[in-house]
């Protein structure tokens, strides 16, 4: 695969970023991609490792990574594109925002820096778009059967695309004004510019997929109607119930869930909402509670809006620092300290900090109180427990608090209750191995099933649900086999 001695001759190269002082003034993509020739050199580093863990363990989509690395190295870009499209419905998205689990399981990462798989993937799909190789879906035959998809995030789009490839007529229902789900409203433009999403949505419309937006299933359209019109449906509604911070003062104004904040900010950038109606960090002291990617997105957005100070607190302990290029936990994902482009733009980060209460004046938050904590592992059970450290309470003046503490489970709206769907212990929709729920013909995928996770995992579950629908309809009364 690639050049036999490529991994010995070439060092890893990664995409760059625009300078922080420049990029903080706009919401444009922060990344400076590698050139096509640089990508070809990086593809040459892919070695004939025998067991490609990047494909078999690292990637939830099971992308044929060594195959398209080899094709890129040899300049056979259209073949590389077809190889990539065979497994990945949205490579232009994963090539931008995926954390690249595949790279951490690359065989080179045992004792060296891994292949720059993510950069290669992005070059393949963008090269294909530039040359008109990415085309609308044209099924071999139409089956004359309609399938509904609820939700147009990554799982919903993946399911819709694969179902359309099978020849089904697909209608996607979305509660927001435009399709895309979390890809549109939850990920800032500086990580995923929305013209990238719009380009794909336009192709899907041209493929014959219908999008019905601004509709809540169970409220605007009844579940009974959907069941009468569609012999099968896929629920890909995401994990919409955010995890709260239930401490005294939570009711004060100026405390918001991260997704509400990020969604509004994106709508302003895209001209869908005026700035005066948006939650804004302009001129404010901002506190972000939660140390994950969503919290980092809040940090980057707050800095772009003109916050005077930004703090990000995480209740878990600070991860260890790791500066070597190899993966210390190969082939598994390493839990190490990560600094995103948003952190580089200005933030005070702290770990092992628990929120005790919010303090306000005239109904608005003005400060928050915290305590430092220690985490201990029970030697018998292996479970971690937290204890507060005495005499470590402190206060921080704040004007805006953003809760980026994750999600609990899928919203238990009427589409769940009216269908009487069985839930798993976490409160998400329970499914079998074929992604079918407790109701025959109703399937589910993505965060609605697994809880909040990565976009690439949602894509893989959407693909799996579409396969489940196809098998189910082919086993049914023969409706799926009509010409």
pLDDT above 70 as % of the chain: 98
1 — pLDDT class (breaks 50, 70, 90) = low
Supply the pLDDT for residue 4.
86
480 — pLDDT class (breaks 50, 70, 90) = very low
Supply the pLDDT for residue 109.
96
2 — pLDDT class (breaks 50, 70, 90) = low
Phi, psi of 274 (to 5 degrees): -80, 150
Q: What's the CA gap between 287 and 172, in Å, rounded?
A: 37
Cβ atoms within 10 A of the Cβ of 308, count?
A: 12
Question: Is the pLDDT at 357 greater than 90, yes or no?
Answer: yes
Over range 86-107, report the average pLDDT.
97
Question: What residues contact 467, with CB distance under 8 A and at least 6 apart?
Answer: 162, 434, 435
Supply the pLDDT for residue 48.
79
Question: Is the pLDDT at 478 greater than 80, yes or no?
Answer: no
Over range 16-42, report the average pLDDT.
97
pLDDT above 90 as % of the chain: 94
Question: Is the pLDDT at 158 greater than 80, yes or no?
Answer: yes
Question: Is the pLDDT at 477 greater than 70, yes or no?
Answer: no
Over range 269-274, report the average pLDDT.
94
Mean residue pLDDT of the chain comes to: 96
Supply the pLDDT for residue 136.
98
Supply the pLDDT for residue 481.
44
Supply the pLDDT for residue 476.
82
Structural domains present in the chain = 6-130 (1.10.1060.10), 146-240+408-481 (3.50.50.60), 244-405 (3.50.50.60)
């Amino acid at each position: 695969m690639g050049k036999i001695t490529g991994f010995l001759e070439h060092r890893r190269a990664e995409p760059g970023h625009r300078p922080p002082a420049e990029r903080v003034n706009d919401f444009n993509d922060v990344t400076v991609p590698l050139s096509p020739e640089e990508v070809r050199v990086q593809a040459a580093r892919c070695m004939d490792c025998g067991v490609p863990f990047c494909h078999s363990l690292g990637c939830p989509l099971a992308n044929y990574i060594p195959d398209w690395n080899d094709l890129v190295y040899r300049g056979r870009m259209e073949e590389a594109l077809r190889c990539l499209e065979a497994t990945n419905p949205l490579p232009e998205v994963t090539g931008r925002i995926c954390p690249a689990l595949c790279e951490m399981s690359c065989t080179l990462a045992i004792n060296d820096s891994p292949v720059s798989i993510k950069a290669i993937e992005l070059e393949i799909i963008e090269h294909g778009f530039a040359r008109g190789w990415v085309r609308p879906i044209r099924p071999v035959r139409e089956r004359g059967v309609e399938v509904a998809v609820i939700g147009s995030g990554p799982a919903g789009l993946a399911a819709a695309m694969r179902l359309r490839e099978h020849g089904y007529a697909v209608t996607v229902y979305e509660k927001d004004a435009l399709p895309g789900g979390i890809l549109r409203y939850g990920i800032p433009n500086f990580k995923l510019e929305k013209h990238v999403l719009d380009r794909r949505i336009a192709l899907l419309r041209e493929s014959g997929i219908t999008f019905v937006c601004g509709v809540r299933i169970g409220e605007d359209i009844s579940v009974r109607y959907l069941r009468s019109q569609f012999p099968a449906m896929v629920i890909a509604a995401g994990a919409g119930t955010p995890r709260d911070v239930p401490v005294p003062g939570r009711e004060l104004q100026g405390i918001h869930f991260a997704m509400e904040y990020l969604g509004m900010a994106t709508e302003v950038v895209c001209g869908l909402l005026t700035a005066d109606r948006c939650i804004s960090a302009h001129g404010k002291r901002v506190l972000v509670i939660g140390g994950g990617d969503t919290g980092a997105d809040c940090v980057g957005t707050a800095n772009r809006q003109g916050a005077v100070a930004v703090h990000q607190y995480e209740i878990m302990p600070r991860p260890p620092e790791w500066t070597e290029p190899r993966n210390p936990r190969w082939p598994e994902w390493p839990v190490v300290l990560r600094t995103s482009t948003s952190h580089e733009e200005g933030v005070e980060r702290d770990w092992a900090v628990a929120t005790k209460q919010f303090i306000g004046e005239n109904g608005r938050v003005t400060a928050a109180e915290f305590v430092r904590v220690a985490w201990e592992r029970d030697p018998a059970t292996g479970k971690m427990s937290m204890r507060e450290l005495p005499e470590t309470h402190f206060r921080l003046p704040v004007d805006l608090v953003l809760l980026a503490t994750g999600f609990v489970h899928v919203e238990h709206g009427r589409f769940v209750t009216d269908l009487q769907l069985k839930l798993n212990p976490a409160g998400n929709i329970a499914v079998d191995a074929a992604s079918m729920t407790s109701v025959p013909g109703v399937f589910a995928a993505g965060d609605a099933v697994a809880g909040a996770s990565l976009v690439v995992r949602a894509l893989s579950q959407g693909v799996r649900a579409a396969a489940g629908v196809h098998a189910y309809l082919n086993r049914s009364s023969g409706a799926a086999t009509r010409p």
